[in-house]
Structure 1
C-alpha cells in the first residue's frame, strides 16, 4: 500500500444510539418488504396450483 492510499482510508466512527435505532428500523423495513414479496409470490403459486388441480378434475 502506498502512503496516499492509507491516508485516504477514513476511520469508521461508531454510530450514536439514535443512528443505530434508525439503521435498525431501516433494516427491519427491508426485511419486512422482502417477507411481503415472498408471501405474495407464495400465494400466487398456491392459487395457480389450485387452478391446475381444478382443471385436472374437470377434464379427466
Structure 2
C-alpha cells in the first residue's frame, strides 16, 4: 500500500462498504459467542441432570 492511498479519504461508497463489512464481522462474532453460550448452557443442563441421578 502506498502512502498516498492511506492519506486519501474514503469516498462515500467506500466508507459505506467498509462500514457494512465491519457490521458483518461484528455480527459473525456475536453469532459465534451465542453458539458458545448455548453450548455451555446445554452442557450445564446435562451436568445437572447427571448430578441429580
Q: Structure 1 or 2: larger helix share?
A: 2
1:10 aligns with 2:18: no
1:4-54 superposed Cα distances (whole Å, 9 cap, x missing partner): xxxxx7131000000000000000000000000000000000000000000
Count of matched residue positions in the alignment of Structure 1 and Structure 2:
50
Give the aligned partner of residue 50 of structure 2. 55
The structure with the larger Rg is 1
Unpaired runs of 5+ residues, structure 2, are none
Taking the aligned partners of 1:10 and 1:55, their CA distance within structure 2 comes to 61
Q: Would you identify which runs of 4 or more consecutive aligned residues in structure 1 move more than 6 Å?
A: none
Q: Indicate the residue corresponding to 2:36 in structure 1.
A: 41
The residue number in structure 2 matching 1:20 is 15
TM value normalised by structure 1: 0.79
TM-score (norm. length: structure 2): 0.89
